[in-house]
Amino acid sequence: MTTLLRETLDHSSIYMPTPARIVAVEQFTELEKWFHLELPSGFTIAHQPGQFVEVSVLGIGEAPISICSSPARSNGAFELCVRRVGKLTEALHRLEPGSMIGVRGPFGHGFPIDRFQGKDIVFVAGGLGLAPLRSLITEVLDERGKYGRVALLYGARTPNDFLFPADLKAWAERGDIECHVTVDRPTDGWDGHVGVITTLLPKIDFPARNTIATVVGPPVMYKFVLQDLLAKGIAEGNIWLSFERQMKCGVGKCGHCQMHHIYTCQTGPVLSYAEVKDLEEALS
């Protein structure tokens, strides 16, 4: 079995993509679609939760997109959740099952999951941030016995903006993960929590010394979530953030993702708060 990264590195150019076939597509929200992709026979994605691939559409361009599926369930396939925000993602949203796209990677460093074993874990996801965290959540749930208490805090603008609704329902029905969701703006029929994501944090009373927090969401969310996590006593080195929004080429050449001395696509996109707390570019 050949890994996609080995194939990417062995090409005459690191920018040469490997073809992947779209097997299934599901519309989650007005802006987000889920894609199930299949690699050529004999290939495996072999990714870490939190890593990303460069996705290309012939004649349109390329963009970095986080992998949202579990490494343990890859078997020559993987999943992406794509927000329609530009030419590349608009082109992706027009594609149907059977269409071919290009992929290269996976790139960067994901969550250091081996260091999470034996710990309580809090997942904090805002909006599209649930996509990269879903890869980690499913990996943890697939190996549930290796971890302590597990909780998901997830916020969206409205009830119509929730991603992965089937997963949210399945996780809420499990007895081994606490699921708390909130919306900024309720719609008719919504009887759940209303408020920004930090209003969910008081629901979590894990012992700080044994807790890992993983946070992925819009930049404006980080500052306030970090304040509350640190106030709970969670160690700076046990708070993990994704900076996937910073990336472009994926291989440290363009400098687009640079935060002071850190190339996010190479050292990140997942970094601990201890690593970035003094970088103005990271949390501004």
Work out the average pLDDT over 132-154. Answer: 96
Per-residue burial over 143-159, b if 16 or more Cβ lie within 10 Å, else e, is eeeebebbbbbbbbeeb
pLDDT per position as a tens digit, 219-245: 889 999 999 999 999 999 999 998 876
- The answer to whether position 230 is within a domain reads yes
In terms of Cα–Cα distance, which of 165, 238, 151 is closest to 203? 151
In a domain, 37, yes or no: yes
Query: What is the rounded average pLDDT for all residues in the chain?
Result: 90
Please indicate if the annotation marks 68 as binding a ligand. Answer: no
Is 179 annotated in a binding site? The answer is no
Domain count, the chain: 2
Q: Are residues 98 and 202 in the same domain?
A: no
Q: Which domain holds residue 124?
A: 113-242
Q: How does pLDDT run across 11-53, given as a tens digit for each residue? A: 777 788 999 999 999 999 999 999 999 999 888 888 999 999 9
254 marked among binding-site residues: yes
Look at strands 239-242 and 120-126 and give their pairing: unpaired
The verdict on 218 and 165 lying in the same domain is yes
In a domain? residue 155: yes
Final residue in a domain of this structure, among 107, 127, 149: 107
Decide: 153 and 172 in contact? Cβ < 8 Å: no
249 marked among binding-site residues: yes
- Please state, in angstroms and rounded to a whole number, the distance separating the CA atoms of residues 26 and 33: 6
Q: Is residue 268 part of a domain?
A: no
Q: Please report whether residue 36 resides in a domain.
A: yes
Q: Is residue 274 part of a domain?
A: no
Whether residue 127 is found in the same domain as residue 142? yes
Q: Is the pTM above the cut of 0.75?
A: yes
- Looking at the structure, tell me whether residues 167 and 147 fall in a common domain: yes
Position 182 scores a pLDDT of 97
* CATH number of domain containing 55: 2.40.30.10
